[in-house]
Amino acid sequence: MISEPFLPYFKTLGAVLVISTAASGCQPVSEQTTAPLPPASNVLSYPDSRTEAVYDEYFGERVRDPYRWLEDDRSEETGAWVKAQNALTQDYLGQIPYRASIANRVERLLNYERVSAPFVEGDYTYFYRNNGLQNQDVLYRQRGGETAEVFIDPNSFSEDGTTSMAGLRFSRDGSMLAYELSEGGSDWRSIHILDAATGSPIDQALKDVKFSSIAWVGQEGFYYSSYDRPDGSVLSALTDTHKLYFHRVGSAQADDELVFGGAEEERHRYVSARVTEDDRYVLISAANTTTGNKLFLIDLAEPAGTLITVVADEESDTRLVDNRAGDLFLYTNRDAPNGRVVVVNAQEPTPVRWRDFIPEREQVLSVSTGAGYFFANYMVDALSRVEQINDRGRKVRDIILPDLVTASGFGGKREQKTLYFNFTNYRIPSSIYALDAGNGEVDLYRESNSSFASDSYESRQVFYESKDGTRVPMIITHRSDLVRDGTAPTLLYAYGGFNASIRPRFSSTVATWLELGGVYAVPNIRGGGEYGKAWHDAGTQQQKQNVFDDFIAAAEFLFDERYTSPSKLAIRGGSNGGLLIGAVMTQRPDIAQVALPAVGVMDMLRYHKFTSGAGWSYDYGTADDNEAMFRYLLAYSPLHNLRVGERYPATLVTTADHDDRVVPAHSFKFAAELQRSQGGIAPTLIRIETDAGHGSGMPIGKLIELYADVYGFTLYNMGYERLAE
């Protein structure tokens, strides 16, 4: 989880496929809580999910955990259960008459070239390219006007495309690079080092790397982070000591220097390093949760390598932005909930010496650097406003952007003249622009090749009131000719946690839904970072119910404004958003026709006992903290609030067997209990992807299959018998 949301996969799609009950002959869905379904759905026989008398005691109360055995992902019994559940799910999905049609359309619409913004390393310009249906993007390079050549092709790493390149960093002069590999979507990775000139490997790959940055010091070597790998199940909790190492090129991993994490006072769950552009300082971030960090500094010019404390507590988030002439520029939300940039001399870097460089504003700030400038990207109701700032902290110019977009990029080396950025939203495919940082001229560098007909759609930002009167923004996207009569199939998506801001971006899978005639609505609910630290904190621990209330109020707004109705609404979220869907469907089972919780955190009493779960306690609290926290978690934990005999929405739970972040046991246990509890005729199924993880690096083939299943299941259970051609 590590504060990153499980977002839709950002590829681009196009073509025309519209659902129309009038034109296509689809049977209307009745306005009941659960719509009539095809006969096959009434005779589902679910695999046996045996229960056992397992109890945990919390503050004098015994809580049963009847599916504890499903936590053993390596047992034959769990394996047989997974196989049986997948067989049932695939048999059901196979009866959907247009499932293959959706898959074929997605595949066809994905088949166009996608190219990233370029970046310069050494003598070469590098960029990523996908010819359309490649499972993984390929890294190309070219020198001057020479023809571009393939440099690294991750598609060659595995036959099925499930091994992905998860991160890459070049040495300062561009002569070497280190890149991470993830197998099957796992967070456990290996680091491979290449000679950039020849592409030949240097050293043996570094093993057992997890949640790591790669921070080079010149050409000498780089910092990376990892844990002592636990023995046994993928579910095993990680140690609370994340260790920072320095690897010298040409040496064995066994000889790597332990830089931070060896002493008792250095025990933290998350440790990472960044090195200043002049190779003078290394900044070490250390944290125990996904919010707030300590910050330390080592002056690499000093032989002793003394660790200097910059920030001694975890009450704020602080990170390196840049350094110049002995001064450090730091982004922080310390005493500035919406963020600011401060400057301080590296010899006395503590907060009492900080001076504002870019002061806090009403809008949330993020910042990047390139071409000798700072770029302040302000979030205004989840949308972008960008200012170029010089090295004296003065605004040079505004970067002109269209309304309702997310702008990103603006980063690069100090000596660069040209920087690149893109802008996008839910209906506009991302295009790349070149910015001359000296004179502010902006030119189109590469237009998207997507055939999606953006002009036929519109995005509108609205504001609605949540249960307690809080004003919440939401962006609603749909065909421009939509008739608001309450009958449009609608997908309501949100995240609501970990300070993650859900900003409008084009997604090929979302574009597919829009072209199917659907409405796509995304509320920026509390728990996220759209309005700074206060907005995040308002959705954490014993205020978590605000997140669910905000989402429920979004659905009610869509009903009141006649966008859709409960029989035409599907609710979806992943990871922390999967928890959101699990909580909402147990609190308000009448609110939607279809529920789509993906890789969700469903057992709120035990989440912190698996892999990296203990690091999520800032957002959730734990059942071990105190009785009040236990009772609050128990009151909304999706697994513990399913009621036997309740009529729940048609539900497709999705997870993956290699997810070592939100372990699949959450989804396994929830699906088993939901199947036991369902009192209506709506199907409650689980789809368990093999050789996949929490979402990153998923190959195109698996992506196509996933969305054919998700959209097919959704429309089928809204009563659509066929789709308009």
Catalytic residues: 575, 694
Residues 6+ apart with CB under 8 A from 353: 344, 345
d(CA 598, CA 539) in angstroms, rounded, equals: 20
Q: Give the closest residue to 165 by CA, choosing from 149, 146, 151, 148.
A: 151
Token pair, residue 413, equals 């080396």
Rg over CA atoms, the chain: 25
d(CA 96, CA 683) in angstroms, rounded, equals: 13
d(CA 621, CA 271) in angstroms, rounded, equals: 21
CA geometry: angle at 640 spanning 611 and 465, to 5°?
95
- Please tell me the total number of residues recorded for the chain in this structure: 725
d(CA 539, CA 615) in angstroms, rounded, equals: 17
Left if phi > 0, otherwise alpha if psi is -120 to 50, otherwise beta: which for 500?
Answer: beta
User: Cα separations (Å) of 111 from 98, 134, 451, 561?
Assistant: 20, 9, 10, 37
HSE-up of 11 (CA within 13 Å, CB side)?
31
The count of other CB atoms within 10 Å of the CB of residue 154 is: 22
Q: Mapping DSSP to helix (H, G, I), strand (E, B) and coil, where does residue 444 land?
A: strand
Q: Which long-range contacts (CB under 8 A, 24 or more apart) does 116-121 make?
A: 116/432, 117/409, 117/420, 117/421, 117/422, 117/432, 117/445, 117/446, 118/420, 119/412, 120/174, 120/413, 120/416, 121/170, 121/174, 121/177, 121/196
According to DSSP, the β-strands at 684-689 and 650-656 are parallel
According to DSSP, the β-strands at 281-287 and 270-275 are antiparallel
